[in-house]
Chains A and B, each alone.
Chain A
């Protein structure tokens, strides 16, 4: 078995302990053995992967030193990949082969990574359990009866089960952090605008952000070095300079001020998760940090605000899926309206349709002010809460989700309970700040993530904090046993 440690793998590749082709073959084999039960991949790109691995071996031989060269990874199936099926886990895109490459996958390609395939997800990234996929639910490698979280559940499960060294995810309201937490891996949602959205099939444009999902903070840093940075193809991408995200990993945490918002430890939070979270926070005290009680008073408004803004944008973003140019078109439409209605009714899953309707309603004449504009005002309040808090403390810590991974089908009938899953993660998206989930303990053999939120463009600092924690704990190195059925 190979380690999921990019620095180590890069060394081993250069020491000729194995080639990228061998490493890639190993991972393809792992996927074939274990993914039938996990369902974490929608598309496997075996031939292309081996081809990329061969190219990587040449680059390594030529002395190129980017540690990502030859590393087998997976991409969430909402990044457009040229000539490779990109479905967004939707029937409406079940046959969509993009003619172009997203910026994230392009940069990863240029960095020399080897794409093994495209990972399963909640349809159009809408969901917190990965049960909303046209290609079936993804299972949690720690317990096949539990969900992996969503929407980047396929990426999380694949990394957790070591079916890929690392993966990309996207996070609109917690879609990197919550599945990272549920599957016991490390995930980073960067500052909005840090990573280009070009070629990411949009869910909610003002909230969507791509980021790395890996075993460790260090691996996330390697991937950030590849994908972060301005892109002139995305008008919302930031021109703020990037950093070497691995350079600060080893800085000491002495004097670090960590804020613990009281609202994150309220009634909604499972007491055991609260305990694990506080224990993890205390671990930082040993590393020289101080804990400060803070308040983010508008936390409870994040759900209503998010569930107006995100569906509003989605209702518009998903209008292009109309059966006219690509994707699914219904059989024998009798006229244009029939084609629109049936293509969309038959092509979109229930959750997506629900959100399109909510968003359409919120933007309608007569409701716009009461819903969309109000939600935007709340968004500004939430942002202000973070700006205020982050003048007092360096970072904010709290739980990622109220519970550990719940059982499949346990919340599908209760949308409000499902939406409450995101209560601790939504506000980072609304504010646009970076946030991470790192493994911080287990409850009944299920992983628990700790959330670390920081100031705008403080990714290097978050990774430093996470890395220091991971130097002193081994939660992140725990891997699920795949012998039982998986």
Chain B
């Protein structure tokens, strides 16, 4: 059967506030257990929560960035369940009246097409602590440093139809929250965690199939793999005439499989009710407008601007605007090189290749945007050709100097003297008389192929310094003679 995949995502983004959602304790990763806790984070009797206004502001920023309705009156609710690392016996979250309501965003797929994905809601909630099972001789340790860390849970509509779309969606959310500066986007440290809801239905059917939820998938790659695995599992069951059990599953990246965590029947009744320790949060339009005024240029706007200002394709523009750092880098290169297309090719090509190989972020690049721009200038003014430029870039990456220094030191300057080039070509032809003979009696197709041979020999002889745009016509002329 031909199945349609239906995916909805819940993303927990940890907000980059200095202190916790309901206390003044510092938020941080990797501190000694239970050193970053205030009374309320410990569930101390008599302690009370006080909302962190910065977290509220960040949630509103996100709402505005995804074109959402802002909850002018939002209500915190308690989600009640017992767990050792949940110190109050409830999580303070939002249920009926979230801070961010219905919105949407557009994702760009690899083929350049775009797709709109609905945002159902986004709400503020506090994180739980951590249970530590190692080093306690059969007992469990509790670390409440993470307790009450602010999270924004972003819930999408089930509008996503493939693993690729899911990844594109998560990447878009990732770039929005990092652009806004409201989340560091560090998935390895759990600053962004995804729950993926997946169901299948026969193509053409309106009704949704039974879904499963895969918890805590924490990298773009795992999202894609987990979805493939789960889709396959569900399809196998359905094709055998079975039924999907509504349940929560865990993805095991080592075995590349999902396995059942708990079924719907085991699910808690969370007994949500409005938190009586926190008053409803009422916003004024003036407050929302003041936040709107501070919003930075967002990825989608930047993509559009790159397309308009630099005549980039939508795909190139969206890749270059995927992070604020990448976009800034690109624009700095372009400002130096005065050639957007060339800059885009280099940033997405050579630079990205080196960054990926070294698992580096653009902000860590040893080649500054200014220096890359200067390198590209040397291509444009024919000082060096593209191939040489790649060697120069390699040297720049190894911190051997600026483009000009390297070109100078290594004598890589392109030969642009027509007379010199003509002499050099002639000597190459003289050294290969039989090939010249053969060329002259061949069909045009064959000639084209042989042309490559001569160019190769010429470049070798010139050590890459011959300007290709001069070599070609001279070679053609000399071969004719």
Of the stretches B164-172, B187-195, B245-253, B273-281, the one at the interface is: B273-281
Beta-carbon contact of B273 and A98 below 8 Å: no
Beta-carbon contact of A363 and B45 below 8 Å: no
Task: Name the interface size band of chain A.
Answer: 35 or more
Given A80-B46, A235-B50, A336-B84, A324 contacting B278 (CB threshold 8 A): no
Q: Does A456 contact B (CB under 8 A)?
A: no
Beta-carbon contact of B45 and A313 below 8 Å: no
Q: Which residue of chain B has the shortest Cβ distance to A359 in the bound complex?
A: B271
Given A236-B277, A322-B89, A198 contacting B46 (CB threshold 8 A): yes
Given A100-B39, A235-B50, A313-B276, A319 contacting B45 (CB threshold 8 A): no
Task: Tell me the minimal C-beta distance from A348 to chain B in angstroms.
Answer: 13
Expressed in whole angstroms, the Cα–Cα distance for A232 and B52 within the complex equals: 12
Q: Does B454 contact A (CB under 8 A)?
A: no
Q: Does A93 contact B (CB under 8 A)?
A: yes
Q: Which of B46, B51, B89, B279 contacts A98 (CB 8 A)?
A: B46
Q: Which of A198, A235, A313, A372 contacts B51 (CB 8 A)?
A: A235
Of the stretches A27-35, A136-144, A202-210, A395-403, the one at the interface is: A202-210
8 Å CB contacts to A: which residues of B33-88? Answer: 39, 42-51, 78, 80, 82, 84, 87-88
**Residues of chain B with a CB closer than 8 A to A199's CB:** 46-47
Q: Which of B50, B87, B276 contacts A325 (CB 8 A)?
A: B87
8 Å CB contacts to B: which residues of A407-449? Answer: none
Beta-carbon contact of A319 and B82 below 8 Å: yes
Beta-carbon contact of B273 and A316 below 8 Å: yes
Given A204-B276, A312-B273, A325 contacting B89 (CB threshold 8 A): no
Expressed in whole angstroms, the Cα–Cα distance for A199 and B47 within the complex equals: 6
Q: Which of B48, B80, B142, B277 contacts A324 (CB 8 A)?
A: B142
Expressed in whole angstroms, the Cα–Cα distance for A199 and B273 within the complex equals: 22
Given A206-B276, A316-B80, A320-B87, A364 contacting B269 (CB threshold 8 A): yes
**Residues of chain B with a CB closer than 8 A to A204's CB:** 276
Q: Which residue of chain B has the shortest Cβ distance to A204 in the bound complex?
A: B276
Q: Does A178 contact B (CB under 8 A)?
A: no
Q: Does A340 contact B (CB under 8 A)?
A: yes
Q: Does B330 contact A (CB under 8 A)?
A: no
Q: Which of B44, B89, B276, B279 contacts A319 (CB 8 A)?
A: B89
**Residues of chain A with a CB closer than 8 A to B47's CB:** 198-199
Task: Tell me the minimal C-beta distance from B246 to chain A in angstroms.
Answer: 16
Q: Does B329 contact A (CB under 8 A)?
A: no
Task: Name the interface size band of chain B.
Answer: 20 to 34
8 Å CB contacts to B: which residues of A297-341? Answer: 312-313, 315-316, 318-322, 324-326, 336, 340
Q: Does B90 contact A (CB under 8 A)?
A: yes
Beta-carbon contact of B88 and A320 below 8 Å: yes
Beta-carbon contact of B80 and A363 below 8 Å: yes
**Residues of chain B with a CB closer than 8 A to A325's CB:** 42-43, 87, 142
Expressed in whole angstroms, the Cα–Cα distance for A368 and B84 within the complex equals: 26
Beta-carbon contact of A316 and B45 below 8 Å: no
Beta-carbon contact of B80 and A98 below 8 Å: no
Beta-carbon contact of A100 and B78 below 8 Å: no
Beta-carbon contact of A197 and B42 below 8 Å: no
Q: Does A47 contact B (CB under 8 A)?
A: no
Chain B positions 4 through 15: 1 when the CB is less than 8 Å from some CB of chain A, otherwise 0: 000000000000
**Residues of chain A with a CB closer than 8 A to B277's CB:** 202, 205, 235-236
Beta-carbon contact of A88 and B80 below 8 Å: no
Q: Does A200 contact B (CB under 8 A)?
A: yes
Q: Does A102 contact B (CB under 8 A)?
A: yes
Q: Does A234 contact B (CB under 8 A)?
A: yes
Expressed in whole angstroms, the Cα–Cα distance for A362 and B480 within the complex equals: 97
Write 21 A-B pairs (CB below 8 A) sorted by A numbering: A78-B46, A79-B46, A80-B46, A99-B39, A100-B39, A198-B46, A198-B47, A201-B45, A233-B50, A236-B277, A312-B273, A313-B276, A315-B80, A316-B80, A316-B90, A316-B273, A318-B89, A319-B89, A325-B43, A360-B271, A364-B271
Starting from the known contacts A197-B48, A316-B89, 19 additional A-B residue pairs (CB-CB under 8 Å) come to A78-B46, A79-B46, A93-B45, A96-B45, A98-B45, A234-B48, A235-B48, A235-B278, A236-B276, A312-B273, A313-B276, A315-B271, A318-B89, A319-B82, A326-B45, A336-B84, A364-B269, A365-B269, A368-B272
Task: Rank and list the top 5 A-B pairs by shortest CB-CB distance, nearest first.
Answer: A319-B89, A205-B276, A363-B271, A206-B276, A320-B43
